[in-house]
């Protein structure tokens, strides 16, 4: 057989070399100054001036996130948000869910709804309207965060998935302005609304059995989402299985900051108030039942709810709820490296 | 001469059967790799068509992967139907099967001219890596987060995997068939 003719293997080798070259170039292009230096000397206190405008200090901090956005794989809306959610009764929900299945429950303006995790892992965002108000229930599987969000300044917005990630966290875009909003941050990192913060409402990370027991009249998100997905399958492996993404190993994507104070995927309750942050290991909150924290000169209570296996966080004096949600430690720290960590010190 | 040679090879029963077997095998393998054929925990039987399917036929999920418009449940197996995905699977399978078959035919030629059929599978390999699990390539979920350094690299080039497979498969097929033609002219007096 004549030699010197390009063979399939030579072609593949050429492709691999090109790919490796692109890969190395990509690594060097990642801004090393942003690795492990999320706050880069910028402070988020005094983030607005007397006119209420975002100061350079805060916008510089936001630019860090913008610079560290990476391609998550799917294109914009490749992971489709559910825009026309349909709901079924709890009785019908029993046909779809086991009592041990994880659901994200909301109790908003007296309306209770459960969003099965096994469905949200395929869609990440549900845009809904409750009593005339637009709200969104969001879930990022890679960071273990389920957060209730609504438009900044009470503006009604719909969110979609941008296909981008920062610190492994879902970066949403709003369909009204195309601005980007990392889910954990809840702040726009670009566009005319840069620096605006989304409204928050609590989402309870619990099980179907616990949720329907507490709210027997709850509605449940139907599988009639407008899309076809194998909702019985988890693309990241069984949530309760061993050696799956949810339990072991580190994140898949680069992080802006890392800290090994806790195992990377340990679930913490992340609490934020007036640019101050604290992480409470969830199992610690569960064992202590009531935790008192001094945060941003306020006394905060983190109270374990036995019925839902969740932690409610609120201001002691006003009883106002404080922004809080479960998260994997690595993700919380990557966004808020200045965070305090509440540890049981006797 | 290319198509004449190819037609000759496929006219031989043994190689035509090889072609059909590889076509079918790769067809299903590709659809499995992109998640259009999967197993489900809860067995069921039935068919479901998505509402407004006409507007979803060409809806893209990722580069060269489209949204399914229907699903067939066959016990623990679910088959998600997307017409563009099926068309792409057929074309890739044709090329893979053709490559494999002509390489298998080359094994009947003088020893120095034989071409391993496994090369055709190597050419198709990139196309099997286009399946993804939400944010992460499906095969990397299996390998684990230790591959994190590879992800940024992979994400940048994943849209090129199908075109790369096409280029490799077509060029390989063309080259192999031409080589076979030359060799047959050298060794088969009746072929000249």
Q: How many domains does the structure of chain A reveal?
A: 3
Range of weakest confidence among A117-131, A233-247, A248-262, B93-107: A233-247
Q: Chain B closest CA to A96's CA: distance in Å?
A: 10
Burial class (CB in 10 A: 0-12, 13-18, 19+), B120: buried
Q: Do A78 and B62 touch (CB under 8 A)?
A: yes
A113 and A183 in a single domain? The answer is: yes
Whole-angstrom Cα distance, residue B114 to residue A255?
50
Could you give the residue ranges of the DSSP H alpha helices within A84-234?
Answer: 90-96, 117-123, 208-214
Q: Is residue A80 classed as helix, strand or coil in its secondary structure?
A: coil
A198 and A334 in a single domain? The answer is: no
Residue that is last in its domain, among A14, A38, A68: A68
Pick from A12, A19, A142: CB nearest B135: A142
DSSP for A200-266, please give it: EE--EEEEHHHHHHH-TT-EEE-S-SSS---TT--TT--TTSTTSTTTSS--SS--S----SS-TT-
A49 and A160 in a single domain? The answer is: no
Burial class (CB in 10 A: 0-12, 13-18, 19+), A134: middle
In this structure, the number of other CB atoms found within 10 A of the CB of residue A144 comes to 25
Residue that is last in its domain, among A68, A88, A115: A68
Q: What ipTM was reported for this prediction?
A: 0.80
Which residues have a Cβ under 8 Å from the Cβ of B149 and sit 6 or more positions away?
A27
A194 and A275 in a single domain? The answer is: no
Pick from A7, A226, A250: CB nearest B148: A250
A62 and A76 in a single domain? The answer is: no
A164 and A303 in a single domain? The answer is: no
Q: Do B69 and A228 touch (CB under 8 A)?
A: yes
In the stretch 124-143 of chain B, residues with CB closer than 8 A to chain A read 126, 132-138, 140-141
The sign one gets for the Cα dihedral A59, A61, A62, A63 is positive
Q: What is the mean pLDDT of chain A?
A: 84
* Probe site for chain B from A73, A94, A240 (most B CB atoms < 10 A): A73
pLDDT surpasses 70 at A336:
yes
Q: Chain A closest CA to B130's CA: distance in Å?
A: 10
Range of weakest confidence among A39-48, A52-61, A174-183, A221-230: A39-48
CB A165 within 8 A of CB B135: yes
Residue that is last in its domain, among A190, A221, A252: A221
- Measured between beta carbons, the chain B residues lying within 8 angstroms of A12 are 122-123, 168
Flag whether A257 is in a domain: no
* Probe site for chain A from B135, B138, B158, B179 (most A CB atoms < 10 A): B135
Whole-angstrom Cα distance, residue A144 to residue A302?
19
A103 and A45 in a single domain? The answer is: no
- In degrees to the nearest 10, what's the CA dihedral of A213, B43, A205, A93? -40
Q: Which residue in chain B is spatially nearest to A2 when comparing CA positions?
A: B113
Whole-angstrom Cα distance, residue A338 to residue A38?
9
The sign one gets for the Cα dihedral B179, B185, B191, B192 is positive
In this structure, the number of other CB atoms found within 10 A of the CB of residue A14 comes to 11
A279 and A321 in a single domain? The answer is: yes
Residues β-bridged to residue A108:
A111
Calculate the CA A161 to chain-centre distance: 12
Pick from B41, B114, B138: CB nearest A232: B41
Flag whether A298 is in a domain: yes
Could you give the residue ranges of the DSSP H alpha helices within B12-145?
Answer: 13-33, 83-106, 118-124, 138-143
Q: Which helix (H) or strand (E) holds B181?
A: helix B161-187
Q: Do A230 and B168 touch (CB under 8 A)?
A: no
Range of weakest confidence among A21-35, A63-77, A239-253, B134-148: A21-35
pLDDT surpasses 80 at A88:
yes
| Residue written as token pair 């120095």 | B112
pLDDT surpasses 90 at A151:
no
Share above pLDDT 90 across residues of chain B, in percent, rounded to a whole number: 29
Q: Chain B closest CA to A228's CA: distance in Å?
A: 7
- Measured between beta carbons, the chain A residues lying within 8 angstroms of B141 are 235-237, 245
Flag whether A106 is in a domain: yes
Flag whether A235 is in a domain: no
Which residues have a Cβ under 8 Å from the Cβ of A111 and sit 6 or more positions away?
A130, A131, A219
| Span A252-292, pLDDT tens digits | 788 999 999 999 999 999 999 999 999 999 999 999 999 99
A37 and A80 in a single domain? The answer is: no
So what's the pLDDT on residue A89? Answer: 97
Q: Which domain holds residue A318?
A: 267-341
pLDDT surpasses 50 at A208:
yes
Closest to A78 measured CA to CA, from B183, B66, B163, B2:
B66
A142 and A177 in a single domain? The answer is: yes
Whole-angstrom Cα distance, residue A106 to residue A312?
13
- Measured between beta carbons, the chain A residues lying within 8 angstroms of B136 are 72-73, 142, 235-236, 252
Range of weakest confidence among A270-274, B103-107, B184-188: B184-188
Could you give the residue ranges of the DSSP H alpha helices within B46-160?
Answer: 83-106, 118-124, 138-143, 148-157
Closest to A315 measured CA to CA, from A295, A332, A336:
A295
A189 and A291 in a single domain? The answer is: no
CA dist A289 to A116, A301, A311, Å? 26, 10, 9
Share above pLDDT 90 across residues of chain A, in percent, rounded to a whole number: 68
In the stretch 80-119 of chain B, residues with CB closer than 8 A to chain A read 80, 112-115, 119
Q: Which residue in chain A is spatially nearest to B73 when comparing CA positions?
A: A230
Flag whether A234 is in a domain: no
Pick from A79, A233, A245: CB nearest B40: A233
Flag whether A179 is in a domain: yes
| Residue written as token pair 């072929």 | B191
Flag whether A250 is in a domain: no
- Measured between beta carbons, the chain B residues lying within 8 angstroms of A122 are 134
B78 Cβ under 8 Å from any chain A Cβ: yes
A55 and A130 in a single domain? The answer is: no
pTM: 0.83
Q: At A276, give phi and psi (nearest 5°).
A: -120, 145
CB A186 within 8 A of CB A65: no
Pick from B132, B141, B155: CB nearest A245: B141
Flag whether A25 is in a domain: no
């Amino acid at each position: 057989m004549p030699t010197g003719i390009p063979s399939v293997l030579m072609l593949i080798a050429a492709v691999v070399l090109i790919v490796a070259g692109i890969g190395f170039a990509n690594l060097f292009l990642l801004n090393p100054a942003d690795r492990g230096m999320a706050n880069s000397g910028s402070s988020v206190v005094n983030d607005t001036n007397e006119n209420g405008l975002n100061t350079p200090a805060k916008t510089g901090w936001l630019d860090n996130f913008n610079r560290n956005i990476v391609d998550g794989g799917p294109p914009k809306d490749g992971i489709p948000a559910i825009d026309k959610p349909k709901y079924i009764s709890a009785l019908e929900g029993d046909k779809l869910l086991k009592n041990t299945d994880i659901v994200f429950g909301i109790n908003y303006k007296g309306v209770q709804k459960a969003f099965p995790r096994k469905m949200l892992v395929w869609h990440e965002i549900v845009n809904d309207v409750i009593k005339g108000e637009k709200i969104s229930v969001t879930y990022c599987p890679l960071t273990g965060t389920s957060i209730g969000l609504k438009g900044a300044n009470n503006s009604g917005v719909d969110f979609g998935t941008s296909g981008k990630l920062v610190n492994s966290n879902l970066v949403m875009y709003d369909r009204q302005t195309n601005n980007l909003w990392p889910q954990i941050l809840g702040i726009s990192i670009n566009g005319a609304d840069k620096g605006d913060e989304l409204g928050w409402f609590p989402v309870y990370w619990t099980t179907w059995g616990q949720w329907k027991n507490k709210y027997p009249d709850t509605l449940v998100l139907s599988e009639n989402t407008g899309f076809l997905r194998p909702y019985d399958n988890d693309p990241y492996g069984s949530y309760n299985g061993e050696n799956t993404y949810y339990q072991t190993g580190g994140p898949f994507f680069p992080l802006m900051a890392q800290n090994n104070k806790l195992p990377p995927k340990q679930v913490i309750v992340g609490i934020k108030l007036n640019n101050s942050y604290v992480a409470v290991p969830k199992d610690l909150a569960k064992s202590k039942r009531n935790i008192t924290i001094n945060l941003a000169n306020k006394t905060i209570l983190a109270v374990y709810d036995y019925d839902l296996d969740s932690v409610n966080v609120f201001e002691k004096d006003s009883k106002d709820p404080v922004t809080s949600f479960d998260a994997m430690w690595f993700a919380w720290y990557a966004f808020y490296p200045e965070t305090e960590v509440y540890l049981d010190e006797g | 001469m290319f198509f004449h040679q190819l037609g000759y090879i496929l006219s031989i029963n043994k190689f035509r059967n090889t072609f059909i077997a590889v076509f079918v095998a790769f067809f299903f393998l590709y659809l499995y790799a992109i998640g259009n054929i999967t197993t489900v925990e809860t067995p069921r039987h039935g068919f479901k068509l998505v509402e407004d399917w006409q507007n979803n036929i060409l809806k893209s999920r990722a580069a060269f992967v489209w949204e399914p418009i229907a699903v067939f449940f066959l016990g623990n197996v679910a088959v998600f139907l997307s017409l563009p995905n099926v068309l792409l699977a057929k074309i890739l399978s044709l090329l893979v099967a053709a490559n494999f078959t002509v390489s298998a035919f080359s094994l009947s030629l003088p020893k120095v001219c034989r071409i391993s059929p496994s090369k055709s599978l190597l050419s198709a390999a990139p196309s099997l890596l286009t399946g993804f699990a939400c944010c992460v390539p499906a095969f990397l979920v299996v390998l684990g987060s230790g591959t994190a350094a590879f992800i940024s690299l992979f994400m940048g080039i994943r849209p090129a995997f199908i075109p790369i497979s096409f280029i490799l498969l077509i060029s390989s097929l063309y080259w192999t068939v031409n080589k076979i033609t030359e060799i047959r002219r050298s060794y088969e007096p009746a072929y000249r």
